[in-house]
Chain A
Amino acid sequence: MFDQLTAKFENLFFKIRNKGKINPGDLDSALREIKLALLEADVNFKVVKEFLENVKAKAIGEKILESLTPYQQVVKIVNEEIIRMLGSSSGSISFVPKGPTVIMTVGLQGSGKTSSVIKLANFLKARFQKKVSVVAADIYRPAAVLQLEDMAKNIGVDVYSNENLDPVSISVKGLELFKKSGSDVVIIDTAGRLHIDENMMEEIVNIKKKVSPHQIYLVLDAMTGQEAVNIASSFNQKVECDGIILTKLDSDTRGGAALSVYYVVKKPIKFVSNGEKVEDFDIFYPDRIASRILGKGDVMTLVEKAEKAVSKKEAKRIEEKIYKNELNFEDFVGQLKSIKKIGSLDKIFSMIPMAGKNKMLKKVNFDDSHLDRIEAIINSMTVEERRRPHIINGSRKKRIAKGSGSTVSEVNRLLKQFSKTRQMLKQFSGQKGKFNMPFGNF
């Protein structure tokens, strides 16, 4: 996410950094580059204008031209401005002390409301141990209710739907029902609508009047163009949104819509949704994204995810093994599982600083199915073979290949890679103690 904007800034600052001191012409060309980068990132035209004025005023005010470290100064100013544009609060969510907390989601067709409702429900269940229920208030799109019911079943969440009622009555009835059944959170999934469709906008106003949701979230596609600010303003004017759920961040979108929406409607982006899996949903951290844009990488997210997936004890054990050069295929398969828990490979790489700059990484297709194949090969080994890989001879290789649906040469390749990795890890572990991320040397 935000890859290309990050690349732009990296280039720009690389140029300035090499010069040491900058002159007024440099500042203007830097600002022009920033303007292009932001426009290419879908940041709203008017927002870009204001952004540039702010950066320029600050740059002049802080006398960066006379500074010996103009690069750091400009980075700092741009960084601060972007964070300001993204909003300061990270997505905290407040629950009402009594009765269910009612959340309503609104947005355009195809922005990802239904998926977001399910992901949010799953998130609140997992993170806050809440009993969550959903109300299916989209009666327009064919099979929308069925879609919600199907997805809700997968995460163990109750759904209220009623094909004989209008969306307002469905919402009222659903809420009544889930109040009685003791839900902590009730999420209302409304139909997608255009922000310029007066009648449809009236409908959500009416739902709001009748059920008084505690939180209203606008679901916004991160790929939205210049119209994003108008979309957000219209919904906000009609129903006063509490925050935004930004979806489809797993594409290569530059995500400028996120920058401009907060700037214009002053509502925080609360959550981001970034993948096909129901777990691909998280709180939005403005500072982290801003540092991504500036090329520092989203290390915080990576570290947090790694911490969740790998226990400290396990990491310590692996570290010992690497140090003694005893790492075997059983550990390897454990590591693969940990990596999968963190996310897909390309997602992991997108969080590593400067990964975008690394030519070698750019060429690699981060295909998770490779991991599956490797896992299949290892699973076809006997326990003895996994623990003592050196006993794997020709006939064993044939058996393993057959068992895993691969070829002997694939098995060979894995064995070779493994022994190389073991060598490499041994070298790295020379700096013992520093090595506490098990996949740190990928």
Chain B
Amino acid sequence: MQRLIKNLNYFWNKFKDNKGQFWEELEEQLVTSDISISTAGKMLDEVKDYVYRENINDSGKVKALLKKQIIEILNGNKDHKLNIPAARPAVILVVGVNGVGKTTAVAKLAKLFKEEGKKVLISAADTYRSAAVEQIQYYAEKLGLDMVSHQKLSDPGAVVYDSIEKAKARNIDVVIIDTAGRMQTSYNLMEELKKIKKVINKRIGREVDEILLVVDSTTGQNAKNQAELFNNALNLTGIILTKVDSASKGGIVITIKHDLGIPIKMVSNGEKMEDIFQFDAVRFTELIFS
């Protein structure tokens, strides 16, 4: 709090004698959070307009306006809650590029559902990476969850098919599918995901309930390309933002929501299994300015 007041005073002084520099420093604060320069520019322009029109001379108010704007973008017209329908089993497909923390996020989600009293099955559809199955198996055993896996390099579509059939037979509430990491630019691997989606849709007779892209907070502008291309291929329903304890702010998700309309649904940090939360726009925005 002390620091915040100090900061605000600092900005206020800047604001009075040199508005140009004040705006530049606000821009810096936004841009260093990894929000895109175009989103930052647009927001600042709107706030600037308002400030000059209303003749606002208080840097604190300016900042509050900016925060309000970010919260509006993040909260706008989409629900942050995971969609778990009455039909059984609900299916959650988890996708993303390499190394963003998909497997850990899958395990954390599974634990969350289990604690709600749901029966969870993990589908180990990353048949590509060495020891990926063993990694998720470790979590499944630790958490006491059902898991379906096939041999390494086998067809992930078949794993998914098998998982849903088993889930039906065993009265499972939620199936969470862990897929192999892939670059959004890899045509073949993106086609593979489309195929997986088709398999699920056919088996459950409706659209997949959740298709979640895992985004690493430390990623910069490329996260938007990721969201765009994964969305083109799959119609994403939401984002899981991981590694939020990493000192990176993950501001690019504001741009993703602003430009593509994909909501952030969950945030995850740390290595403990319980460190996963529903996304909170207000808290997130405070972090951007901390």
Q: Are B218 and A143 neighbours in the complex by a CB distance under 8 Å?
A: no
| Binary per-residue interface labels of chain A (209-239) against chain B in the complex, 1 for a CB within 8 Å, 0 otherwise | 0000000000001011111101100000000
Taking a contact as CB atoms under 8 Å apart, the answer to whether B220 and A226 are in contact is: yes
Residue A54 lies at the interface, judged by CB distance under 8 Å to chain B:
no
Which residues between 250 and 267 of chain A lie within 8 Å of chain B, taking CB atoms? 250-254, 256-257
Residue of chain B at shortest CB distance from A48: B31
Annotate A29-50 by CB proximity to B: 1 below 8 A, 0 otherwise: 0000000100111100100000
> B101 to A250, Cβ gap below 8 A?
no
Q: Across the interface, do B100 and A194 meet the contact criterion of CB distance under 8 Å?
A: no
Inter-subunit contact B31/A39 (CB<8 Å): yes
Question: By the criterion CB–CB under 8 Å, are B131 and A150 in contact?
Answer: yes
> When the two chains form their complex, are residues B220 and A143 in contact, meaning their CB atoms are under 8 A apart?
no
- State the CA gap A226–B217 with chains docked (Å): 11
Contacts of A41 in B (CB 8 A): 221
CB neighbours of B186 from chain A (8 A): 250
With contacts A42-B222, A194-B245, A221-B219 known, is A226 near B130, CB below 8 A?
Answer: no
In Å, the complex CA distance between A223 and B247 comes to 16
Inter-subunit contact A147/B185 (CB<8 Å)? no
Q: Which of A178-186, A292-300, A363-371 contacts B (4 or more CB under 8 A)?
A: A363-371
Residues of A in contact with B (beta carbons under 8 Å apart): 36, 39-42, 45, 108-112, 140-144, 146-148, 150-151, 194-196, 221, 223-228, 230-231, 248, 250-254, 256-257, 346, 365-369
A147-B129 contact in complex given A108-B218, A140-B271, A226-B32, C-beta closer than 8 Å: yes
Residues on A with C-beta less than 8 A from B221 are 40-42, 225, 254
Given A109-B101, A253-B222, 17 extra CB contacts under 8 A: A39-B37, A110-B216, A110-B243, A111-B99, A140-B271, A142-B134, A142-B135, A143-B137, A146-B134, A221-B219, A227-B247, A250-B186, A252-B185, A254-B221, A256-B220, A365-B187, A367-B188
Taking a contact as CB atoms under 8 Å apart, the answer to whether B185 and A223 are in contact is no
Known A45-B28, A144-B131, A147-B129: A250·B183 in contact at CB below 8 Å = yes
Chain B residues in 8 Å Cβ range of A110: 98-101, 216, 243
- Asked if A142 and B139 sit within 8 Å, CB to CB, the answer is yes
A–B Cβ pairs within 8 angstroms, 14 of them: A36-B37, A39-B31, A42-B221, A110-B216, A142-B135, A147-B129, A148-B130, A194-B243, A194-B245, A194-B247, A225-B218, A226-B33, A226-B220, A346-B187
Residues of chain A within 8 A (CB-CB) of B243 are: 108-110, 194
Chain A residue numbers with a CB within 8 Å of B248 are 225-227
Question: For A224, what are the chain B residues with a Cβ–Cβ distance below 8 Å?
Answer: 218-220
Known contacts A45-B28, A140-B271, A143-B135: A221-B218 contact under CB 8 Å: yes
- Closest-CB distance, B260 to chain A (whole angstroms): 16
Nearest-Cβ distance from residue B202 to partner chain A, whole angstroms: 23
- Which A residues are CB-close (under 8 A) to B31? 39, 45, 226
Contacting residues, chain B, for A256 (C-beta < 8 A): 220
Question: In the bound complex, do residue A196 and residue B247 qualify as a contact, i.e. CB atoms below 8 Å apart?
Answer: yes
The answer to whether B10 has its CB under 8 Å from any CB of chain A is no
* Chain A residues with CB under 8 A of B245: 194
B245 to chain A, nearest CB (A): 7
B212 interfacial contact with A, CB 8 Å? no
Residue-wise, chain B 27-61 has the 8 Å CB interface mask toward A (1 for contact) of: 01001111011100000000000000000000000
Report how far A329 CA is from B280 CA in the complex, Å.
61
Q: Mark B215-248, 1 if CB is under 8 A from A, else 0.
A: 0101111110100000000000000000101111
CB atoms of B131 and A230 under 8 A apart: no
Say if the beta carbon of B138 comes within 8 Å of chain A.
yes
Known A110-B99, A226-B248; judge A142-B138 contact (CB<8 A). yes
Q: Are A225 and B220 closer than 8 Å at their CB atoms?
A: yes
Cβ–Cβ contact A366 & B187, under 8 A: yes
A27 → chain B closest CB, angstroms: 19
Residue in B34, B131, B188 whose beta carbon sits within 8 Å of that of A369 in the complex: B188
A contact patch SS: loop
User: Are B97 and A248 interface neighbours, CB within 8 A?
Assistant: yes
With A143-B134, A147-B129 already in contact, the answer to whether A40 and B98 are too (CB < 8 A) is no
B184 CB–A CB distance under 8 Å = yes
**Which chain B positions have C-beta within 8 A of A223?**
97, 219-220, 222-223
Q: How far is the CA of A225 from the CA of B216 in the complex (A)?
A: 10
Determine chain B's interface SS by DSSP, over half rule: loop
Q: Which of B131, B222, B247 contacts A252 (CB 8 A)?
A: B222
Taking A110-B98, A252-B185, A346-B185 as contacts, is the C-beta distance between A42 and B247 under 8 angstroms?
no
Residue of A nearest to B103 (CB): A142
CA distance A227 to B34 in the complex (A): 9
Among A36, A225, A226: residue with most chain B CB under 10 A: A225
Could you say which residues of chain A place their CB within 8 Å of the CB of B220?
Answer: 42, 223-226, 228, 256-257
A412–B84 CA distance with the chains assembled, in angstroms:
50
Q: Across the interface, do A150 and B247 meet the contact criterion of CB distance under 8 Å?
A: no
Q: Does B252 contact A (CB under 8 A)?
A: yes
Contact present for B185 and A251 (CB under 8 Å): yes
Closest 9 CB pairs of A and B: A225-B220, A110-B99, A147-B131, A42-B220, A142-B138, A150-B130, A143-B135, A143-B134, A225-B34
When distances are taken between beta carbons in the complex, the residues of chain B under 8 Å from A151 are 130
Chain A residue nearest to B183 (CB atoms) is: A251
CB distance from A256 to the nearest CB of B (A): 7
B77 to chain A, nearest CB (A): 27
A137 → B minimal CB distance (Å): 16
CB A162 to nearest CB in B, in angstroms, measures 17
Residues of A within 8 A of B34 (CB): 42, 225-227
Nearest B residue to A254 by beta-carbon distance? B221
Query: Cβ of B134: which chain A residues have Cβ within 8 Å of it?
Result: 142-143, 146-147
Q: How far is the CA of A371 from the CA of B67 in the complex (A)?
A: 52
